Amino acid sequence: MRRREVLKAIAGGAAVAMPCAALAALAGGGGQAPLADTRSGRIRGYRDRGILVFKGIPYGADTAARRFMPALREPPWQGVRDTVEHGPSAPQKRIDGRISEDCLYLNVFTPALRDGARRPILVYLHGGGYDSGSGSSALYDGVNLCRRGDAVVITLNHRLNAFGYLYLAQLGDDSFAWSGNVGQLDLIQALTWVREHAAQFGGDAANVTVFGQSGGGAKIATLMAMPAARGLFHRAMTMSGQQVTAAGPRAATQRAQRFLDELSLAPTDLQRLRTLPFERLIEASRVRDPSRIEDTSLYFGPVLDGTSLHRHPFYPDAPGQSARIPMLIGTTRDETRAFLGHDPANFDLSWEQLPDKLRDHQYVDLNPHTVIAEYRRLYPDYTPSQVFFAATTAGRSWRAAIVEAEARADQGAPTWAYQLDWGSPLDEGRWGAMHTLDIALVFDNTAQPGSNTGDGAQARALAASMSDALLALARHGDPGHAGLPAWPQYSRQRRETLLFDVQPRLEHDPRGGERRLYERVPFVQRGTF
């Protein structure tokens, strides 16, 4: 909505779904609202607790006319564009707010404009795998992080699922050559926009930190191996998100063929994919993935296409182009309680039920009885349910974090590791240190809707500690700060890991017995084959 439309709506008594601060800024006139210049036109934001906020800034054109192709630059506009609402999220199965193929928007939170302060810039890549999510969640509000660290914070949306990662290069003409990674190319386009506008928003183009949770961390790991991303960011923090290998071209083509079959399209009909309603493409992506044991929809993620991604992100080693980038790799102790804890039966398992449960959910081909015997030796007090959550966490995502940390250590690249041990106090603690728990802590947003931390004294203290670690990484290239014990870089010899808890502490090779157990089988990133 433009300013005159907002004022007209207010005068007419209409309900306008905007933040109160944004409404106040707009209604109060241009003198109160911050104005910024972008490459395509002027924008007007609003103030929130002393921070200047601009939401829904376009960094690319509507992708509807460019399905499966790299996006174009956003078209220019005349006058001043009001940027006080988030832009639409990418098309996806989980609908939370507006969705549209016109989804290339970012949000900027900054203490000041054009003041030459050269603040660190922190760019957050959202989770949801490569399938869902957006940068619009209240948990990603950057105001507290800006105020805490005198930094610029940016969140964004980009193409997801089939729109961002459907590999059609082997089935179609040259216009589909980039299709398997256009979601990643959107991120590169956003980071290019950030570099161009750093000074305008009071930031330093030579000090950009990318951080992301779950799928966001995986996207960062992939960017670290993409030549087009070289030089666009200078520090990285991944939170429970890894990408050791990308999908191979054969596997990605097999998924694309299954997708086409679901739409009753032959390879000769590929051009029709560009004009079908996006809802049909989303529905077709629900077809079962051929590579997965469990009944899940098609996997979409980065593809080893030889065009934009020429090597696996962290196989057979860490990418050389990112060797000088300081990187913080983090996990949570009880990741899978977020996924598997919604079934109450998983909290009351018997030893007899456990083998079949592990066979379905640990994601590695290791004899469940061997796993159970080793966990009972390592942790004799664990119940069957505790073994279930611990083993599924170790067998799914945690192992990949170790692989990446080892690869970086072998390379001599500056790398630190953390594990969140502190558990959510909600529901009598049943969720533990679940997947996503560190988001509110790193953003210092424990009071925001959607936070699983609660807003008690422990949560606030931990939020201060973890957000300061991110800010220290961004400002100094090292996450250590005065509120933490000495935190050396990760090495294979000692496997130094900072455990965030009520009292943060450094441990060498935490969960080493579990690591050695799962090293008995090769790690294969899901979606590779």
DSSP symbols for 15-76: ---S-HHHHHHHHT-TTTS-EEEETTEEEE-EEETTEEEEEEEESS--GGGGTTSPPPPPPP
Q: Are residues 340 and 275 part of one domain?
A: no
Q: Kindly state whether residue 434 falls inside one of the protein's structural domains.
A: yes
Q: Are residues 239 and 163 part of one domain?
A: yes
Q: Are residues 122 and 60 part of one domain?
A: yes
Rounded alpha-carbon distances, angstroms, from residue 1 to 4, 18, 81, 444, 496: 8, 10, 9, 30, 51
Q: Are residues 19 and 63 part of one domain?
A: no
CA gap 250, 256 in Å, rounded: 10
Q: Are residues 280 and 344 part of one domain?
A: no
Sheet holding 35-38, edge to edge: 35-38, 41-44, 80-82
pLDDT by residue for the chain (529 residues), tens only, comes to: 344 444 343 333 333 334 454 554 444 334 489 999 999 999 999 999 999 999 999 999 999 999 999 999 999 999 999 999 999 999 999 777 799 999 999 999 999 999 999 999 999 999 999 999 999 999 999 999 999 999 999 999 999 999 999 999 999 999 999 999 999 999 999 999 999 999 999 999 999 999 999 999 999 999 999 999 999 999 999 999 999 999 999 999 999 999 999 999 998 899 999 999 999 999 999 999 887 655 578 999 999 999 999 999 999 999 999 999 999 999 999 999 999 999 999 999 999 999 999 998 988 889 999 999 999 999 999 999 999 999 999 988 899 999 999 999 999 999 999 999 999 999 999 999 999 999 999 999 999 998 999 999 999 999 999 999 999 999 999 999 999 999 999 999 999 999 999 999 999 999 999 999 999 999 888 888 8
Q: Are residues 382 and 279 part of one domain?
A: no
Q: Kindly state whether residue 106 falls inside one of the protein's structural domains.
A: yes
Please report where in the chains the tokens 């193409």 appear, as a residue.
Answer: 159
445: CATH: 3.40.50.1820
Q: Are residues 316 and 373 part of one domain?
A: no
Q: Are residues 202 and 66 part of one domain?
A: yes
Backbone angles phi, psi at 369, to 5 degrees: -65, -35
The residue from 271, 295, 325 where one domain ends is: 325
pLDDT at site 293: 57
Q: Are residues 369 and 231 part of one domain?
A: no
Count of the separate structural domains present in the chain? 3
pLDDT at site 527: 84
Chain centre to alpha carbon of residue 304: 20
Q: Are residues 269 and 341 part of one domain?
A: no
Chain centre to alpha carbon of residue 105: 16
Q: Are residues 409 and 398 part of one domain?
A: yes
Burial status of residue 449 (CB atoms within 10 A of its CB: 0-12, 13-18, 19 or more) = exposed
The residue from 325, 357, 372 where one domain ends is: 325
Catalytic residue (one of 136, 137, 179, 214): 214
Q: Kindly state whether residue 267 falls inside one of the protein's structural domains.
A: yes
CA gap 142, 150 in Å, rounded: 11
**CB-based contacts of 257, cutoff 8 Å, min separation 6:** 171, 267
Q: Are residues 300 and 414 part of one domain?
A: no
Quick check: is 214 catalytic? Answer: yes
Token code pair at residue 484:
């933490």
Q: Is the dihedral of CA 232, 235, 239, 245 positive or negative?
A: positive
In terms of residue numbers, what domain contains 336? 331-518
**CB-based contacts of 58, cutoff 8 Å, min separation 6:** 40, 74, 87, 104, 105
